[in-house]
Amino acid sequence: MNIRSLSLLTSKLILIMLLVSCSGTGNKSISILETTDVHGVILPYDYIEKEKLNASLASSFTYIRQMREEKDATILLDDGDNLQGQPEVYYYNFIDTVSPHFLAEVMNYMGYDAGTVGNHDVEAGHAVYDRLVKKYNFPLLAANAIDIKTGKPYFKPYYIIVKEGIKIAVFGLVTPAIPNWLPQELYAGIEFRDMVETAKLWMPVILNEKPDLVVGLFHSGWDRSREESQKSDPLTENGSAAVAYNVPGFDIIFNGHDHRLANEKFVNTDGDTVLILDGGSKSEKIAQADITFSSRKIKGKRQRKITGQIINVADFKPDPEFITRFTPQHKIIDGYVNRVIGNSSATISSRDAYFGPSAFIDMIHSIQLKITGADISFAAPLSFDVQISEGPITVGDMFKLYRFENMLYTMTMSGEEIQKYLEYSYSEWFNTMNGPGNALLKLRAGKDGKPLITDGKAWLKNQPYNFDSAAGIDYTVDVSKPEGARIIISGFTDGRPFERNKIYKVAVNSYRGNGGGGHFTEGAGIKNEELRSRLVSSTDRDLRYYILKSIEAKKTVNPEPLNNWKIIPEKWVKTSVPREYALLFGTEK
């Protein structure tokens, strides 16, 4: 080959390289994956119901590995609420506090890049989440959780991730409504500030880093029912929409906390489009943002295309290496939940609790009254549909009976406040009936006003964990009367008269005692700032622990309803109960 031919060939090769370069080989494909509200669903097994699961972090990891092979880069984020739910995390939170924490080992193994703290993570207490912050190989974020002593964020406010030359800023916020639900001791030294104001404060700092992408990781729900332009309430539970609308700069916002799914585009005050994603709960879904970055820049910023999708984790089998790696922990947890603590002479179910006194709830009432020595107990079904069978009672059964890690409070209330409290509770629960053909329970309804049926079943309109009944007093609930005028308290079960002006001690869980559900504030009319002064005492540990110890001491329990209250008119109720029981549970009572 002569020099002229070689020169011509070289020129052609250069031209081809230029054409290839212009056609987009400078593009980078990045996916950001979000898990949220995992609630301890790590391995494909439900340690409470003692059955296999078709979705867990083990299956999520199969998909995560697949994405890491397919994409130029993959970023893995978590949006909080991992430290409550399954015994997998409870055991390492409170029982074995010496061994490496299971969740830290799992999340480090999976290679998370960043996470945001959730309210149920804070619920585990300083000893647990402070320990995990040190053990995670990634930062835990929450810019609006402020260290009172320093005035600076207790957790990291944001984190810069650089992959394939792309700089991504991840900014974390947690729902500031935590003081409405949790005892102050669990977050001592921390205050939770307004999400919008915090985001406005930090956005200029983040933009000064000159990121190619700004991502919000908010443990707060996507509530489009609010006017997006209105100011955020400092204690707004689900304030992500207010931030998305009022704080320009975000390209993507991942949400959590509300256990709902979201994949939509949203326009903010500057007219910019923001991708909103919410990944549901319990490892069932992964929220995914796919970003293609172009080598082309406008005003110094790389151009990109952003799309979102929701991945169904049940479509993927558990990762075999993940299962093998964590089999030792599985054996330990399985042994813990299967330990027999006593025996039950009867089968009890939370299903009965929606239609009157039930042995399921009354077991909680009886233990609360015994522990506190209070005059009255308030309690609700914390799980919608669970059963503890006759025979041996195990540690795992205690997670059915009592789902959350609430403390037990003893508080003071007047007789009038107790009456209003119950009126409020039953207004969340029952309709006003005009006859036996009317619905007793408040159910979710469609546009036609009829019960909304999903997968062959109806659903309660409100959360069952807010359906408080009382023990220690005898009363009726007259559903033929309007809300606010239904409760008639005849006296204490032990024969004492009930007086509206007298002060009584009540036993109630810490979620309720801190204002959760609104029973004390909206119902009884007690100001939120006054609740602390009503607290007489609190247990040092969660109520589930004391229930477990009570059953261990007693050895055999004979659960029966206390029958200290009833719904009237009884003929109407007798007609409606079988009909609505079948709607809720797909079977006759």
Residues 492-501 as b/e (b if ≥16 CB within 10 A, e otherwise) read bbeeeebeee
CATH entry 3.40.50.300 includes domain 26-333: no
pLDDT at 36: 98
H or E segment and range at residue 19: helix 3-20
pLDDT at 24 over 90: no
Q: To the nearest whole percent, how much of the chain has pLDDT over 90? A: 87
Rounded to two decimals, the pTM is 0.88
pLDDT at 234: 63
Predicted confidence (pLDDT) per residue in 109-135, tens digit? 999 999 999 999 999 999 999 999 999
Domain with CATH 3.90.780.10 in the chain: 340-585
- Strand partners of residue 290: 31, 307
pLDDT at 140 over 80: yes
* Of the options 3.90.780.10, 3.40.50.12780, 3.40.50.1370, 2.30.29.30, the CATH number for the domain spanning 340-585: 3.90.780.10
Mean per-residue pLDDT over the chain, rounded: 92
Amino acid identity, position 574: K
What value does the mean pLDDT take over residues 221-239?
69
Closest by CA to 378, choosing from 463, 466, 469, 464, is 469
Q: Could you tell me the two tokens for 159? A: 């984190």
Give the pLDDT band (50/70/90) at residue 147. very high
pLDDT at 16: 41
pLDDT at 447: 82
pLDDT at 233: 63
Q: Look at the chain and count its residues.
A: 589
Q: Could you tell me the two tokens for 78? A: 């978590």
Give DSSP secondary structure letters for 175-204.
Answer: -TTGGGTS-GGGGTTEEE--HHHHHHHHHH
Half-sphere exposure of 354 (CA within 13 A, CB side): 34
Closest by CA to 156, choosing from 167, 140, 168, 144, is 140
CB 436 within 8 A of CB 575: yes
CB 536 within 8 A of CB 508: no
Predicted confidence (pLDDT) per residue in 499-536, tens digit? 999 999 999 999 999 999 999 999 999 999 999 999 99
pLDDT at 17: 43
Predicted confidence (pLDDT) per residue in 287-298, tens digit? 999 999 987 776
pLDDT at 32: 98
pLDDT at 454: 82
> Rounded to the nearest 5°, which phi and psi values hold at 19?
-65, -40
Domain with CATH 3.60.21.10 in the chain: 26-333
CB 89 within 8 A of CB 128: no
Predicted confidence (pLDDT) per residue in 575-585, tens digit? 999 999 999 99
12: which residues sit within 8 A by CB, 6+ positions away?
Answer: none
What value does the mean pLDDT take over residues 205-220?
97
Sort 219 into a burial class: Cβ within 10 Å, 0-12 / 13-18 / 19+.
Answer: buried
